[in-house]
Amino acid sequence: MLGTMMEEEQTLVKGGTNLEGSEAKLELTVDEVVEEYVGSLGFSQLVHVLLVSLAWIFDAQSTLVTIFTDAQPPWRCKSGLCQGYNNNSSNTGSVCELVPGTWEWVGGHTSSTIAEWNLVCDRRFLAAVPASVYFLGSLIGSGVYGHLSDTWLGRKRTVQLSCILTSITAFATSLSPNIWSYAFFRFTNGFARSGIGICCLVLTTESVGRKWRGQVGQYGFFFFTVGFLTLPLVAYPTRTHWRSLYKVLSFIPLAYAVLLLPLVSESPRWLLIKGRTKEALQVLDRFARLNGKQKLPSNLSLTDPTGSSNAAPSTSSEGAEITPNNREKLWTTKWAAIRMITVMLAGFGVGFVYYGIQLNVENLNFNLYVSVAINAVMEIPAVVIGTFLLGFTNRRLLLSVSSFIAAVSSILCTFFSHNGGTSKVQNNHGGSWVQLIIEGIGFMGASTTFDILYIYCVELFPTNVRNFAVSMLRQAIMLGASVAPLLVVLGRLSPSLSFLVFGGFAISSGVLSLWLPETRNAPLYETLKQQEEEEKHTWISHNDGALELGK
């Protein structure tokens, strides 16, 4: 009789009431609430992901605008003044041999920074400085924004700040009076935009179930491709005035920050880790209702991810104190520090290859606007293939294989680069189609590696340091990207060497990824301590299972 009464009491508690008729506390993690009450990927999350991912469009435009503004423009001889030289050529060597005043830029001196500030001959390497310092600015900004996003501002407000500063610095760049001020403003623009990509990626992946994290993360890279693809359309009408291109691009992020970003919700995971549990529940409840689900149970509370008894209750307000475990440091946790270093080393190679190939497009023997469009189109199958494979393929395997594809393609390009950088200028539409196809395959591999590495990094670290970890990866990628413009300039003299270097770095990234743990279908942990304990438990269980099979 006593046993029967105990069973009935347990049944009532599980059903949401106790013997006194009051509701029992229902405590779940964010992952459990998303899976059981909100939906892994519903209408509300799709709208949320779409609105956030739009920011990648002008992030791409800001990054790649120098392909047009800092490009080597065509020149022509003035009538009868430099006979014996090829008209409409881009061979700067011939320009250096001519008498000043005997030739002119086809689009006028305002068509690019090279034409306006005469960055040819002994000043040619100055043309690579703005692109390099832009990525250095992104490197520094990634660390700053990562810290702000994890500790103070949150994901949404950090994106908003980054968009506003990107708009201001882009407009300021258009007013540059000389190459040095131009390089400075490119540096500030790189710093400003660095908060967009990392925060958008984390903000989208933290709103969906574990099944869709990889695919949702890829959506952002699709919009980056859209920005890359639309850049020639924006640049062509301003082809004779490079300053106008910066002015046009400066208004897009400002409009986004003012009109669309206020419609986006903050990450419920970040709100929870900061002790703002009530707001986290409100966000989840809004997602659930927009998905056509019922309102979240009134007795529902979120599990304290820190495991601290001092955590703020579900009714805590925005001013709740941060719990002790929220002050965990990535660099003082041994396993996390080793993992972060491995990710950053791989990221350096990925950034070097990915951005280097894009910036090198001006050295192809094709129309610049068409070449950029073709390169952008090549990113589309990379995103589609990556999104498809992430649904059922291990992250580690996919990352390493795509890196090796980029490496093999880059090395194969050396066999078709025997013409070098001097003979190619005689024909704007010549060159090797075989090399172009192979290089395209290599770029697709580099693009796939770039996209997946970001998704992988999101899953490798817990919520309280996730944005910081992604920002550190971004720093490593930007450091690699900052070196790439110098290799692009060197590649004009020795194409084979540049392809070999690209291939070598791609191989190193693929090998380093093999040292990382697999994260497919793993939960998103909230703290370093929780992740360490859970991964250790999973590893022990896996080994015990393997021993049982061995018997």
Per-residue burial over 125-150, b if 16 or more Cβ lie within 10 Å, else e, is ebbbbbbbbbbbbbbebbeebbebbb
Mean pLDDT of 129-134: 91
pLDDT value at residue 15: 43
pLDDT of residue 204 exceeding 60: yes
pLDDT value at residue 359: 76
pLDDT of residue 465 exceeding 90: no
Residues 243 and 132: beta-carbon distance below 8 Å: no
Query: pLDDT, tens digit, for every residue of 521-536?
Result: 888 888 888 888 888 8
CA distances to 399, 400, 449, 509 from 514, rounded to whole Å, are 9, 7, 13, 9
E strands along 78-176, which residues?
Answer: 103-105
> What are the structural domains, with CATH classification, of the chain?
25-76+103-306 (1.20.1250.20), 330-421+429-540 (1.20.1250.20)
Parallel, antiparallel or unpaired: strands 75-77 and 103-105: antiparallel
Listed residue (530, 455, 518) closest to 31, CA to CA: 530
pLDDT value at residue 147: 85
pLDDT of residue 59 exceeding 70: yes
Residues above pLDDT 90, as percent of the chain: 31
Stretch among 308-322, 428-442, 533-547 having the lowest mean pLDDT: 308-322
Query: pLDDT, tens digit, for every residue of 377-408?
Result: 888 888 888 888 887 888 899 999 999 999 99
Stretch among 215-219, 361-365, 482-486 having the lowest mean pLDDT: 361-365
Mean pLDDT of 134-155: 88
Band (pLDDT 50/70/90 cuts) for residue 85 is low
Query: pLDDT, tens digit, for every residue of 269-287?
Result: 899 888 888 999 999 999 9
Separation CA 379–CA 449 (nearest Å):
11
pLDDT of residue 92 exceeding 80: no
Query: pLDDT, tens digit, for every residue of 335-355?
Result: 999 999 999 999 999 999 998
Separation CA 217–CA 254 (nearest Å):
24
Query: pLDDT, tens digit, for every residue of 495-511?
Result: 777 788 888 999 999 99
Stretch among 350-354, 418-422, 430-434, 532-536 having the lowest mean pLDDT: 418-422
Bridge partners (DSSP) listed for residue 471: none
pLDDT value at residue 266: 93
